[in-house]
Structure 1
């Protein structure tokens, strides 16, 4: 009895498992340009020879995908631009430490012996103008006569002295400016210069905050003017 030996045709066959595809939030439901052309090629290979796909329809599909792809690219570029702008603003804000910024607010904090600069704003010329410095209780601790002012903005400085000739105590105060406009008693707008003590780069809502003397903060975008003094 003879024995016939031979090789199994399956012996040399090797199986390789395809790598698992992991779905992430970034690729969920998204088609790439390669996916689009693969689908289009599949569509062309299965089209009815007697009724081929119209060229205009193919061009329309390609244009629509290119537009969508372009919008996504634009969004990515805008995100990078916004990040660059935030870094630039952070650098700008850090350079303000130790300098004074003009705030559209008449309330300020000060230390004893400090002087405070401000700016009064009026749309029309005013006469008999006085600057009243009030404490948190609304008491007038000093009156600074100004006289006549033209329309526009005028700078002023309070030396930090109370009406009794002594330095005002450290604390919070506000400027109130009154005068006559066309013969009528009017209150004029007051703004103050505040010194920047430090900067918070990631404040509330992601804004860059300037921490001012007196314990208050303001957004970098609210700065009206920057001064050296």
Structure 2
């Protein structure tokens, strides 16, 4: 690039150097780029004018910069629209129930506690035990033989005598009988979505009744 007049060009460069040190603006935009190029043209040595090729190359750089800024702006708009859509979808989940990995669930007054058992291999006897907060067994559900897959269970909130138990949090323990003995199996618990949180990076967190928070990606099923 041809050297420009030291006084004028130096002032322009000093001006933008000071601006670049400011936290409010640390990048050279297309307006500043054009002003620098015009300053160079006005103050170039008339005996050694800038070659056409160099001038065209600078215009190409300016055009590339402008296109990159347009693409960046479009991407920002797309990200904003995507996050808005996520927030709208997330808000529609409030009040619904979801199936999430867990070993305890909330029994509401007059309600039931339900979920699924993940059976990894066929079992001759699938059993679900319900325990209260003191660890005492309050009900046992015998589901019989079960093939590999997910098997639903539901507890109506009563004990073996048919008496209704108080609302609260109850532990769920699923076991399967195999030739080698009894094995504990994984469970999915149904829980109500009380509220939804949307993080700054767009991540969605579900706040579940008496089960805390869980990422949307960890939800197995939306009921």
Conservation of the 8 A alpha-carbon contact between 1:107 and 1:175: yes
Task: Give, in angstroms, the shift of residue 188 of structure 1.
Answer: 1.0
Q: 2-side partners of 1:73 and 1:181: how far apart?
A: 63
Q: 1-side partners of 2:162 and 2:88: how far apart?
A: 42
Task: Give, in angstroms, the shift of residue 48 of structure 1.
Answer: 7.7
1:47/1:117 CA distance change after superposition, 3 Å: farther
Q: Give secondary structure in 2 for the equivalent of 1:91.
A: helix
Correspondent of 2:174 among 169, 174, 177: 177
Task: Name which of structure 1's ranges 100-109 and 33-42 shifts more when overlaid on structure 2.
Answer: 33-42
Q: Which residue of 1 aligns with 2:210?
A: 214
Measured against aligned partners, the alpha-carbon deviations of 1:51-102 in whole angstroms (never above 9, x if no partner) come to 855837963x555555555444444333333332332222222322332111
Conservation of the 8 A alpha-carbon contact between 2:106 and 2:167: yes
Measured against aligned partners, the alpha-carbon deviations of 1:122-162 in whole angstroms (never above 9, x if no partner) come to 33222222111122232221111112211121222122222
What is the CA RMSD across the aligned residues, in angstroms? 3.3
Measured against aligned partners, the alpha-carbon deviations of 1:138-192 in whole angstroms (never above 9, x if no partner) come to 2221111112211121222122222332122211112111113463432111001
What TM-score do the two structures reach when normalised by structure 2? 0.72
Q: Give secondary structure in 2 for the equivalent of 1:34.
A: helix
What TM-score do the two structures reach when normalised by structure 1? 0.70
Q: 2-side partners of 1:167 and 1:97: how far apart?
A: 28
Correspondent of 2:39 among 27, 39, 42: 42
Q: Which residue of 1 aligns with 2:161?
A: 164
1:167/1:71 CA distance change after superposition, 3 Å: farther
Correspondent of 2:132 among 129, 132, 135: 135
Conservation of the 8 A alpha-carbon contact between 2:106 and 2:113: no
Conservation of the 8 A alpha-carbon contact between 2:94 and 2:196: no
Higher helix share: 2
Task: Give, in angstroms, the shift of residue 44 of structure 1.
Answer: 4.4
- Paired residues, number: 202
Q: 2-side partners of 1:121 and 1:221: how far apart?
A: 18
Q: 1:87 and 2:84 equivalent? A: yes
Correspondent of 1:106 among 95, 99, 103: 103
Q: 5+ unaligned residues in a row in structure 2: which ranges?
A: 1-18
1:219/1:58 CA distance change after superposition, 3 Å: same
Could you say which structure has the larger radius of gyration?
Answer: 1
Q: Give secondary structure in 2 for the equivalent of 1:81.
A: helix
